[in-house]
Structure formats: C-alpha cells, structure tokens
Amino acid sequence: MNLEQVFKQYKEESIHGRYITLALIEPLLHKLNTNKQLKIIGKSVLGKPIYSYTIGKGKTKIFLWSQMHGNESTTTKALFDFLNVLQGDSEIAQQLLSSFTFCAIPMLNPDGATLYTRENANKVDLNRDSQELSQPESKLLRATFESFSPDYCFNLHDQRTIFGLSETGKPATLSFLAPSYNEKREINESRLKAINLIAMINEKLQPYLPDQIGRFDDSFNINCIGDTFQYLGVPTLLFEAGHFSNDYQREETRKYVFMSLILSFKILFENDIVVNGIDKYLSISQNKVIFYDFMYKNIKINYDGIEIITNFAAQYKEELIENQVCFIAYISQIGDLEDKLGHLEYDAKGALYKDDFDNIPKLDQKADFYLDNNVKFVNGMIKI
C-alpha cells in the first residue's frame, strides 16, 4: 500500500492550518452521516454540541477522540482524512469496516477549540479530570467509553515544538505512548497490547519518517484519561503530533498521523503484531525537551561599555488574533544553551545586538532586533 498516495486521495482539503473549530467540522460530519452514524452525545459548558461518529460492523471496537485540548487540532484533521477512507470503496476500507467498529469523538472540547485554549470554558484541563469528572465534556467521554466498551483506545493530541530526539537531533514529529496503569509503571496484559502495537507502528512508519518518532514519558497520573483507561484494562495508545521542519501549520505532521492510523488498523487486521515488543518499544527514542524555535549564537552585547559574547533563544507563542492563529516570537532564554537546538539557528559571529529599547535582549521581549545595524530580525527571522 502506498500510504502517500492514499493520503493524497483522501485528504480533507476543506480543513487546514491550526485553527480548527466546530463550525468547520460540523458540515463534514453531516456529509459523512450517510447512514445515521452521527450522534450528538451531549453539550459543552457553553452549550455546543459534542458529536460521536460510529461506523463499521466488525467485532473489534476502536474508540478514538481528538481535541480534548482545544488548541491541539492536528489529529482532528488526520481523523477526518481517515474517516474519508472509511467512506470510500477501497479494499482497505472494506477490510477495516468488516473487522472493526469505530467510534470517534472528533472534537471533545469545542469551547476550547473556538477560544484556541488547552482548557475548556471553565478553564479545566480535561486531561486531568478523569477521576473527578467535574466537567460535562469529561463525563461524556467516560460515558461513551463505558457504553461503547472498546477493545482499543486512541487518545489523540498535539505536542509543542520544544520536543525532539537527542539521539538524532531531529524534532519529534510523532510520539507514542502506552500509558502506565500504576505508579510502578508495570506492564500488564492491556498495556502490553498497546506496547506491541506501538512497536509495530514505529517499525512500519520509520521508512516514511526516519529518526523522527519518539516515545512519550510514561509517568503515571491517574487523573489523565489515558492512564485511567489503561488502568481499567483497555489497551490505550497516546498519539502526540509534533513538529516537522518548517511545518508550523502541521500539514506534514497531519499526513504522518493519518499514516499511523491506517497502519494501526492494518496491523491489527492482519494480526501482524510482535508477540513481545517491549524491547522494540523501549528502543524508540525518548521524547525530550531539546528545541527552541529560534537560536542565536555568538551575539555581542554591550553592557555599560563592557562587551560580551552570548547566546539567546526565542520561542513562538500561538496567539489567536481575529480568528487566525498567529505565531509571535518572544525571547525565552539567554546565556548557556548547551545541549539545546533551534529549528532555525543563526550564528552572528560576534555581530553587535541592538534593539529599539536598551540594546540588551530580555526575557519575554519580542524577537525584533538588529545585528551590526545592517541585519534586521522581525518576529525572529531575518527581514529581507
């Protein structure tokens, strides 16, 4: 199977970029509702409908949810690409629909999606609410889990551009995790199933995304939904969509999430799962905080007549301005940047730093400055 070609064929072109809201996906859900697969399972804090979409007639039940965090939209795009496959008449669609029943909640947190925030409208992180179930969205997710009784859970998220792989010096474009079910991080039957599946996904995805796949931290937190579902005995996989070079809109990353979903279910369909994949799983590079969006090296700064050479880094903050996600670069670290990398790195070779204030970089200051008066940086990048 040519996964690149499958993605091009079924990509949902009507949604793109980072700002994915309920208003954008509702028409798609109704378009996909060809046989009463769509259901409103409840409402958000602000009264917006939360939908589930169920398709297939297979014995193995797959539960997927996305945008639990409103500003994590990459997997939502990939999920719609995947649902387009299931609505097609290809061989893979027929195989998957006969083997699996899929229940997807494409947008668990529509209020957070509109506000482009991690939390819901009550400023609660839904991924820390799996025990208290204090929010309507958390209750709906748990109720759907219990009524659907899945065999596998797919917990779909985004991660920040700061994550990478120390061994390769590359960004962690995708990271996976079989969440722990207890404090000791032991491996029981359900967690082993998730581990085995992730080991195979990684193996089959490497030719498409070499050295850019990470393993997320498995510290146990029963308040997290993935840990809770694993604790309840259902194999759960965490997907974290990360950064691909120059892909801040995450359209390339979207493709690899799509490929991972197709591979997941193809592996399960073909029973192409390693018996004990623990070693293969643990060999996946650990996801670590090693990146800044920008790194500036060998910058000359004049401190009251004393010149020093230093480094500093800048990081984008994602700000919603007039219904558009804008990436605004702010200085985030000054001095020793040992063991850190920049998605974009600039060696000033001793050029003198100047700005419109007091010619000294400061934390949380916008990354607008000059080097030797003849190179201008605006929003972190050289202005041509």
Are the CB atoms for 70 and 109 separated by under 8 Å? yes
Are the CB atoms for 10 and 85 separated by under 8 Å? yes
Phi and psi for 154 in degrees, rounded to 5?
-120, 110
In this predicted structure, what is the pLDDT of residue 24?
Answer: 98
Task: List b or e across 7-18, with b for residues whose CB sees 16 or more CB atoms inside 10 angstroms.
Answer: beebbbeebeeb
Are the CB atoms for 78 and 3 separated by under 8 Å? no
Query: The dihedral of CA 49, 50, 54, 59: what is its sign?
Result: negative
Whose tokens are 């551009």? That residue is 161
- Which CATH code is given to the segment(s) 3-288? 3.40.630.10
Q: Residue 184 contacts by C-beta under 8 Å, 6 or more apart in sequence?
A: none
Tens-digit pLDDT profile for residues 164-189: 999 999 999 999 999 999 999 999 99
Read off the amino acid at residue 232: L
Report the run of H or E that residue 158 belongs to, with start and end.
Answer: strand 152-158
Dist. CA 384–CA 374, nearest whole Å: 11
Instruction: Note the pTM of the prediction, 2 decimals.
Output: 0.97
* Structure token digits, residue 106: 């494409």
Q: Residue 218 contacts by C-beta under 8 Å, 6 or more apart in sequence?
A: 177, 178, 179, 180, 185
Residue ranges for the chain with pLDDT beneath 50: none
Dist. CA 215–CA 198, nearest whole Å: 9
Report the run of H or E that residue 75 belongs to, with start and end.
Answer: helix 74-86
Tens-digit pLDDT profile for residues 333-365: 999 898 999 999 999 999 999 999 999 999 999
Domain span(s) for CATH 2.30.40.10 in the chain: 291-382
CATH 2.40.50.100 fits 291-382, yes or no: no
- H helices of 182-232, in order, are 189-205, 225-231
Dist. CA 163–CA 165, nearest whole Å: 7
Domain span(s) for CATH 3.40.630.10 in the chain: 3-288
For residue 260, the tally of other CB atoms under 10 A from its CB is 28
* Structure token digits, residue 56: 């297939």
In this predicted structure, what is the pLDDT of residue 249?
Answer: 98
Helices first, then strands: H and E counts in the chain:
10, 19
For the CA atoms of 248, 254, 255, 259, the dihedral, rounded to the nearest 10 degrees, stands at 140
Dist. CA 247–CA 158, nearest whole Å: 13
* Structure token digits, residue 33: 């509702």
